[in-house]
Amino acid sequence: MFHFQTLDVYKCAVAFLPVGYALAALGDGEMASQLRRAALSINLNIAEGTGRFGKDERRFLVTARGSALECAAVIDAMHVVGIVDPRMPDGLALLVRIVSMLTNFREPVDLVEEDARPVGRKLLRDIA
């Protein structure tokens, strides 16, 4: 198992993916494509970002956070145009968790040990 697969934020992103794809199937071509790409981007950027260090790591995690916000905006747009589904509230709740966790990842912290990468105010090894 890769380390990123043990992170709660990654697990939430994986849990959102089938919800995002199911909701995408309800929208028109543009909404569907946008939601699918943004949902997958969350997972991919978390995975790639946790394999990097410093500013490079932060850049990928910020992109993942932006993709989660983009998914929420697409779901809002779907609702406004009359597309309603009972999975929307659960999907949005997962996105709120993802954004919250990724916001904490973005806080700058000094690197204390080589094997203890900073994540927010905690060390990665302490939250995994």
The answer to whether 38 touches 44, Cβ cutoff 8 Å, is: no
**Mean pLDDT score across all residues of the chain:** 87
CATH number of the domain bearing residue 83: 1.20.1440.60
pLDDT the model gives residue 113:
36
pLDDT 10s digits, 34-58: 999 999 999 999 999 999 988 999 9
CA distances from 23 to 6, 37, 78, 118, 128 (A): 26, 13, 9, 35, 30
Report how far residue 128's alpha carbon sits from residue 66's, in angstroms, rounded to the nearest whole number.
23
Mean pLDDT of 104-126: 48
Structural domains counted in the chain: 1
State residue 13's pLDDT score.
98
Please give the residue that has the higher pLDDT: either 113 or 31. Answer: 31
Structural domain span for residue 40: 3-127
The one-letter code for the residue type at 110 is: D
54: which 2 tokens? 């410093």
Distance of CA 27 to the CA centre of its chain: 21
pTM for the complete prediction? 0.81
Nearest to 2 by CA among 36, 37, 43: 43
